[in-house]
Structures are given as structure tokens and as C-alpha cells.
Chain A
Amino acid sequence: MNQSFREAWMLLPDYLGQHVILSVSALILGVAISVPLGIIAARNKTIGAPVLGLVSVIQTIPGLALLALFYPLLLALSSVTRDLFGVSFRALGFLPALLALTLYAMLPILRNLVTALNGLDPAILMAAKGVGMTPRQSLYKVELPLAAPQLLAGIRTATVWVVGITTLSTPIGQTSLGNYIFTGLQTENWIFVLFGCVAAAALALVLDSLLAMAGAAFSAGSRPRLLLAGAGLIVLIVAALAPGLIHAPGRGVVIGAKNFDEQYILADVMSDRLRQAGFAVSQKIDLGSTVALKALAASDIDAYVDYSGTLWGDAMHRADMPGREAMLGQLKTWLAQTYGVVQVGPLGFENAYVFAMRTDRAKALHIRSLADVALHPELTIGGDFEIFSRPEWRRVASAYGLSTMRRRQYQPDFLYRAVMSGDADLVSAFSSDGRIARYGLTILDDPRSALPPYDAVLLVGPAHAHDPRFLESLSPLIGAIPLSLMQQGNLMVDRDQDKRTPAETAQWLEARIAH
């Protein structure tokens, strides 16, 4: 059996379990809110129209954005409740995902219920009144049972949507079947991507069929079949909960990772070392770039690797360039004072923003540095999703006069394809990426030092900031990973032939780290 497939299979109980729990909770919550709301909306048009409008608008917000929006919202709320009541809650992972997915579940349920209730035969409603039913009895004995088939259809639609969108909760730190997809996209592991998609689709189909079965049993008045469908749902939920119940004695320590290969490898290296030191370790991977530090500060994760330039610009909002050492020193003080986070030290390599061109093209146009690019206004620059909104790009653009340059954005992995195929003339890249060497790309000089240093630094959260066993097991990594080693490691995961998983690469790297 294929190595990737085996690895995917091993991860399935955890990913599927968490996916089911999240999807089903969101659906239950969605039904619990939408049904009463739908009844009110159907009876009272002045409430009904705005409610349906609002829910429809929510539906138009892209799934990833809605999920991401709940994180800062809850973070702010959590700090308010901490100040007021001394109680804070986890703003990352399950809760924001649950709230966003619940909102998504509401539209089809609400709309179908309101349509069904408004479409009931007035003669039947008159009859319900005429035989002596109170409005409440009419609702429960006549209106809701008659609206039930359409309500169920709405719930089934919501189920399929929610199971699909749950895959997008991975970047806000909630494990789901989306982990396969996000990790697979990053590492170009298409087996993972496919595995995630198929698993999510299969889950959606199973839940949908169980609901269809329950609906058919309900309208046929068949109690055994209704019980069977209910039992199916319960079995699914128990099976989903089982892995968590079997081995979840406390959460142990959590290692975080952003959403790219190098981060996966480093997270695995850290996890291995902590396990050897006797810690129970789990991981939260595919965190959004700025989500990671907040998660560390909130102790949602306990350690991860970030980059000095990123922290300097995004977290400290500094635009000045005091030089590498001064930057690391100020960063350390600031992190400790602001978040109680320990910057243990730099790992020894830099993963800097650089700009790269195909060597033949650079030669033909006589471009060696970013300053030369300004002479060619016809060029197109390709970037990842964040580069053009980052301070680094603003500095580069103003230092070299590139602000009016034509831009295109790509999923990070496709950047290299874009520059190789000529879709983009130059692209943003990361200096530790092994593919720069493999594709023979030329890195453009930065003679005006517009780009800051990006030393990889190991960060430890407040919970283990003074835990000697924890710190000692990770401190051998400080200064131990030179750029060439990290580039090789990254290439092992990225390349198409003889591809390695991040876990395998972590072991390979571990063996080469000077102790």
C-alpha cells in the first residue's frame, strides 16, 4: 500500500471523528435556532423578511472568510469576559468553527420552513381552528407535521453544505477532514487532497441518507425504520467520539504550525523531541499566519516556529529596520512583556521573502536586482495571497517604484509553476524553499535593503515558559538548522519524485542536526 495512503488512513479516526462532531453539533444548533425562528418569521412578516434577508446575506460570505472572522471576534469577547468575570474561553478551533457553521446551516432550514408554513392550505388551518385547537396545538399537531417534509429537505441541504464547509475550519485550528486537503495542497500530496474530498463527500452522503431514511419512516409512520435511522446516527456519533474518549487523558502539549511544508516538518521535529522527553503531544497545523501567535498567547498551542520579520511587521507593526540582532533582541523583550511568550532563539536559517525570476528571462532582460525591475513596466509579478497587503511589499514597492506593476495572486505552490510557464515574470518566494534551486530560479538582489530579515525563531507559550523539561528538550534546536539543510528538507516534501512526508523528513532532519 502507498505510504501516503497508509498515513492518510491512520489519521482518519481523528480527522473524521472531529469532523463529525463539529458538523453534527453545528447542524443540531442550526436546527434548534432555525425552527423557532422560522415559526416566528412565518407568523410575523415584519420580522420574517429581515431575518431571512440577513441569513441570506450571511450565506454570501465566503466560507473561509466567515470562519476566519469569528476568531478575532471571539478573541475580543474572551478578553472582555476575562476582564469582567475572570473567565476566558478558547477563541481558536471548535467554538468559532461551530458558530460560523451554525450560521451556514440556518438558511436552507429557515427558508424551507417559512416557505412550507406560509404555503399551507388555508382551509386546513381553518379546520384546525374549527375543531377547537389553540394556536399552539394547531402549530404542533397540524402545521409543523405538514411542514415536516420540506423542513427535512432543508435540513438535508444544510447537512451537505455544513459537512463540506467544515473542511474549511482547519485554518482556524479545528482539526477536520480539511486537514487532508490543506496539508495535501501544501505538500502537493494529491492522495491526501483526494482522500479528504472523498471522505467528506462520503460522510455527507451517509448523513443525508440517514436523514432521508428518517424522513421516509416518519411520513410512512414506520416506527422501526425511524428507530433504525436514529440508531444509525447515534452509531456514527459514538464512533466519532470514540477515538477522543479512548486516548484523551488531558490534552498534553500542543505544537502549532502554519500552513506550509517547513512548518509541518519543524512541528514534527519538535513533537518528536517532546515525546522523547515524556510529553503527550498533539498538533494543530494549518494555522493562519497571524492566528498562530494569538493562539500561542492564548495557550491554545504551546510552541511553534515563527519568523522575525513577520513578527516585526505583523505583530509589532514596526516599519523601521534596526538590523538583525537588534530586531531579535527587541522582539524577545516585546513578546515576553506583551504575551508572556518566550522567544527561545533563532534556529539558524532564514525564510525570507525574496523575489525570483527564471534565470534565462532575467539574463535576457538584464535584470539582476529589484532596481532593474522598475525599468520594465511590462512585467507581471506573481505573489501569494498575503504578500501584496504586507508591509514588506509596500517597502519594496516604494523603494524601487513598483507600486503600479501588474499583479497576480496564486496559491503558494502554484507560484513556481506560474513563473516557469511565463504566467508571471517574477514571483515572491521564500529563501528556504528547496524549489528555488531545483527550478534554477535567480533571486533578485535587494540593494536598498527593503526586505527585513526573517530568522526562524522558536516561540514557547506562557504555560511552558518556565518549564525546564519542556525548554531543555527544544533548546538543542537553537542554531542547529542551517539554511542548506532546511532547503533540502523542504525539497524532499515538495518534489514530485521520491516524495517524503513531513514526518519522514523530520526524522531525516533530526539525524543531521548537530548536537
Chain B
Amino acid sequence: MIEICDVSKAYAGSGNEGVSRLSLTIGQGEFMALIGPSGSGKTTTLNMVNRLVEPDSGIIRVEGRDVAETDPVQLRRGIGYVFQEAGLFPHMTVAENIAVTPRLMGWEDAKIQARIEELLVLVRLDPGVFRERRPQGLSGGQRQRVALARALAAKPHILLLDEPFGALDPVTREAVAADVRDIHKSLGLTTLMVTHDMTEALLLADRIAVMRKGTLVQTGTPQDLARHPADAFVAQLMETPRRRAQALARTLSL
């Protein structure tokens, strides 16, 4: 469970990406999508959960513990994080990238090797083919799969995803997204995903939190948002997927 209570963060200058008095709870085993236009403060919110960004005020609790009182390095090792465009280390092989956090935590080598194998299978990459490859030699989708494996390597209960599918083509995006959803479910993770694509949020998330200019506009299930949009901004966000769905339904039913 992640509890964000009355958290603010201001950036000097533009005021972009800042967050003001935000409160949000992601329940145990829940998949929450954080959506909003760029500069709305969604990535800042995500990064405050594992202390890549420190809030100016407010409290964040992860599994009941105040993160401000947790050693940031230990905190991050216990939380999986998939970065925008993967963020894989280019000088390491796929196996070495996946092994990073377990190594930092001092796991035994045999255990690490077994874990690499297990995770590659989980993210649907053939270990025999991919173990020794370097990130440069992978497609965008393969990189995101490796990044997901790396995030899950130390068996975290919490998974943070920062626009994980943004750079992928539509077909790959759908396949990877479906796998993320499955893994979330099968491992019983608590997942917080940042995205700017409402369709993606609707398809993946249990609940959606809509942000705008650093504040939370509405939180709810996809059905809530569709039926009772809090304001015109949310209604407009829902409009695009709705129109698409209708157009598709028309086209396909003919």
C-alpha cells in the first residue's frame, strides 16, 4: 500500500511539474494509473514515492512506513521502478542489468542466476538468446521487458512505472502492457503507473487518478470517470477513448 498525504513540492522558476497538497492512496494489490498532461506533476509524484524527489511537505508511507524515515537507498532497493525509455545500463548485458539490485543486496550468485532465468521467462524473453545481449542490440519492446525484469529482480511488492510504453509501437505496446497487467496480478503487486494516454490507463488500471497543474482532479475506477467526470477537463480526457471505441464498434460491426 502507498499512502500519499497532503504532499507538496515546488520547483523554483516555472512552477511546472510541481505538486500542491496532493493526497492519494493506492491500495494493496491495486493497479493505479496517474494521468495528466505534461507538466501536471505526475512524474514528480511517482518519484517522491521512492525519494528520487524529496517533498517540501506532507507524508508518504509505503507499506505503512514513512519514507522520510527510511534510508533512501534501502527504500529504492525494495521498490521496483521502470523508467521512461527503459534506462538500461548500456555497458552491461541483459543478465547484468537484471542482476543489479540483487547484487547490491548481496544475494548469492547461484540465487541471482536462477532469478535472472526466472525473470526472463516471466517477461517472455528466451534466456538462451537474450542473457548475454547488450541493450543496444534490443528492440524497444525487448528493452522494456528487460527493464521490467530488472525492476522485479529483488522481489519488490511495489512497482513504479514511468510512461513505460511511451516509446513503443502500438502492437508491441499492447503486448507488453498486457504482460505487465498479468505480472501485476500474478505477483500481487501494488502498482503505480504514470501515463498520458487515457486509453492505456482505462485498459490497465483498477483506478485512475487524474492530475492537472499539480493537483488531483479526480480519482476513480474507469467506470466512475466515464459516468461521472468531475469537470470538463476529465470529460474531455474521456472523450478521445470513447470516440475511438464508438468508431471501432461501428467499423467492426458492419
Contact = CB atoms under 8 A, between A and B. Distances in A.
Interface of A: 123-124, 126-134, 137, 141-142, 145-146, 219
Nearest to A149: B91
Given A123-B83, A123-B84, A137-B104, A130 B89 contact: no
Interface in B72-115: 73-74, 76-78, 81, 83-85, 87-91, 100-101, 104-105
Interface string B116-151: 000000000000000000000000000000000010
Given A132-B73, A132-B76, A126 B87 contact: yes
Contact of B91 (A127, A131, A132, A146): A146
B73 A131 contact: no
Contacts of A128: 89
B104 A133 contact: yes
Contacts of B89: 124, 127-128, 142, 146
Nearest to A127: B87
Contacts of B8: none
B52 interface: yes
A433 B73 CA distance: 77
Contacts of A132: 73-74, 76-78, 101, 104-105, 154
A129 B91 contact: no
Q: Is the interface of A mostly helix, strand, loop or mixed?
A: helix
A126 B52 contact: yes
B73 A133 contact: yes
B50 interface: yes
10 contacts: A123-B83, A124-B90, A131-B76, A131-B81, A132-B74, A132-B76, A132-B77, A132-B104, A133-B104, A142-B89
Contacts of A146: 89-91
Given A127-B87, A132-B104, A137-B104, 4 more contacts: A130-B83, A132-B77, A132-B105, A146-B91
Nearest to B154: A132
A133 B88 CA distance: 14
B73 A134 contact: yes
Contacts of B84: 123
Contacts of B87: 123-124, 126-127, 130
A132 B76 CA distance: 5
A131 B50 contact: no
Contact of A129 (B52, B88, B101): B52
Nearest to A129: B52
Nearest to B134: A221
B101 A131 contact: yes
Interface of B: 50, 52, 73-74, 76-78, 81, 83-85, 87-91, 100-101, 104-105, 150, 154
Pick the 9 closest A-B CB pairs, nearest first. Answer: A132-B77, A127-B87, A132-B76, A130-B81, A145-B91, A131-B101, A131-B100, A123-B87, A127-B83
A142 B88 CA distance: 11
Contact of B150 (A124, A126, A131, A141): A131
A277 B200 CA distance: 96
Contacts of B73: 132-134
Contacts of A219: 91
Nearest to A148: B91
Nearest to A142: B89
B162 to A, nearest CB: 9
Contacts of A133: 73, 100, 104
A286 B26 CA distance: 80
A131 B98 CA distance: 10
Contact of B76 (A130, A141, A145): A130
Nearest to A145: B91
A269 B90 CA distance: 65
Contacts of B77: 131-132
A141 B103 CA distance: 11
A142 B74 CA distance: 18
A219 B134 CA distance: 12
B52 A127 contact: no
B156 to A, nearest CB: 10
- Most chain A beta-carbon contacts within 10 A, residue among B83, B84, B87, B105: B87
Contacts of B52: 126, 129-130
B233 to A, nearest CB: 29
B88 to A, nearest CB: 7
A127 B92 CA distance: 13
Nearest to B83: A127
Nearest to A133: B104
A126 B83 contact: yes
Nearest to B84: A123
A141 B101 CA distance: 12
Contacts of A137: 104
